[in-house]
Amino acid sequence: MIDRVYQSNLDLELLFCTNVLKLGSLHYGYSDTPEKLDMARARAAQTRYTETLLTSFPAEVTTVLDVGSGIGDNARAMADHGYVVTAVSPDANHETYFAAHPHEGVRFVRSKFEALTLAGPFDLILMSESQNYFDATVGFAQVRRLLRPGGYLFISGMLRVSSERAFASVVNVEADYLAKAAAAGLTVVSQVDITDNVLPTLEFAQRVLKEHVVPGVDVFTRYVSSTGGFASRLVKGVVARVFRKPMDALIDHYAERVDPAAFKKHVKYVRVLFRLEQ
Ligand SMILES: C[S@@+](CC[C@H](N)C(=O)[O-])C[C@H]1O[C@@H](n2cnc3c(N)ncnc32)[C@H](O)[C@@H]1O
């Protein structure tokens, strides 16, 4: 079931962030302390994530390619700081959003990074929680093509600590990913582990899942099962097969994804600044 979801075009994690958690950005956020988040604090953590991201950019950077831009909050913040930003995402909804919210200094290109045909060169390529959406080797080849010599790649996102099955949707394993980057001529300038700064967001998502999503699914199933008659028995069968079972599998899957202890055991949230050879 989970494999089918990941093979489909439906990005449930994005839907969970936007439609269930009602967050305005598509990243985990950054908490300074082990705070307990509510909706307002989760949004503040997301703003802080972008602010702290920008403080890591080298001074000589002007042009930025924002790979997997989501709905553009990082891109707009970068433009407000004077960067000239090209935002890329394959999602048609993101294209619609960018068209409806034009912003000086930001242009949007709808494309998968692997298929991007822009010429470049850029001073910095940002992958904020997007590096697990495409093959790393193909991605690094594009980075080489699109960066100026001595330009920077900055990733802020999740890497798995080992190749165990848990958290397999975090496709890239840290050691393997860094080795592929090195083979592409990218040297690590700095690496910061911010796992503890994203855990409050996970704890918040875990609470929403337990307190809202699970009871919501339960109420829906009970409602459908509460009416009598043949039609209802039919609907009950369909609900059990088509809705409840897959939903339970998904809830189990996400229960692990948002479990702070399991996350910390299997995943690192890192910020790595690479520099391309001259
Ligand atoms: C978790 S969101 C992160 C959004 C944004 N960078 C942020 O930090 O809020 C992942 C983004 O990667 C995009 N994406 C998915 N597949 C991609 C691909 N093959 N190439 C480029 N971007 C991709 C998604 O559409 C989405 O915009």
CATH number, residue 24: 3.40.50.150
- 192 and 204 inside one domain: no
Q: Which residue has the higher pLDDT, 201 or 9?
A: 201
Residue 5: per-residue pLDDT: 44
Model confidence band, residue 74 (pLDDT cutoffs 50, 70, 90): very high
- 185 and 214 inside one domain: no
CB 188 within 8 A of CB 272: yes
- 192 and 203 inside one domain: no
- 183 and 207 inside one domain: no
CA 222 to ligand 1 centroid distance, Å: 36
The pLDDT tens digits for 170-220 are 999 999 999 999 999 999 999 999 999 999 998 988 888 777 776 776 676
Residues in contact with ligand 1 by the CB-under-6-Å rule are 25-27, 67-70, 74, 88-91, 94, 112-114, 128-130, 133-134
Rg (CA), the chain: 20
3-state secondary structure of 228: coil
CA 89 to ligand 1 centroid distance, Å: 6
- 163 and 238 inside one domain: no
C-alpha 94/C-alpha 8 separation (Å) is 18
Residue 36: per-residue pLDDT: 87
- 66 and 204 inside one domain: no
Distance of CA 215 to the CA centre of its chain: 26
Place of tokens 């039609």: 231
- 234 and 110 inside one domain: no
Expressed as residue numbers, the domain containing 185 is 13-197+267-276
Overall number of domains in the chain: 2
**If we measure between CA atoms, which residue out of 251, 273, 270, 278 comes closest to residue 129?**
270
**204 within some domain:** yes
Query: What mean pLDDT do residues 56-76 have?
Result: 96
- 203 and 193 inside one domain: no
**183 within some domain:** yes
The pLDDT tens digits for 15-46 are 666 666 667 677 889 998 788 888 888 889 99
**262 within some domain:** no
**6 within some domain:** no
Percent share of the chain, pLDDT over 90: 59
Among 17, 130, 142, 194, which residue has the most ligand 1 atoms within 8 Å of its CB, making it the best to mutate?
130
- 186 and 225 inside one domain: no
Residue 112 makes CB contacts below 8 A (sequence gap 6+) with 90, 134
CA 90 to ligand 1 centroid distance, Å: 8
**103 within some domain:** yes
- 29 and 17 inside one domain: yes
Quick one: tokens of 214?
């699970």
**2 within some domain:** no
**101 within some domain:** yes
Residue 261 CB neighbour total at 10 angstroms:
9
For atom 11 of ligand 1, which residue has the closest CA?
Answer: 68
Q: Is the peptide bond before 121 cis (omega within 30 degrees of 0)?
A: yes
**79 within some domain:** yes
- The torsion angles phi and psi of 101, rounded to 5 degrees, stand at -125, 65
Name the burial class of residue 38, with classes exposed (0-12), middle (13-18) and buried (19+) by CB atoms within 10 angstroms of its CB: exposed
**If we measure between CA atoms, which residue out of 161, 214, 153 comes closest to residue 184?**
153
- 123 and 182 inside one domain: yes
- 210 and 189 inside one domain: no
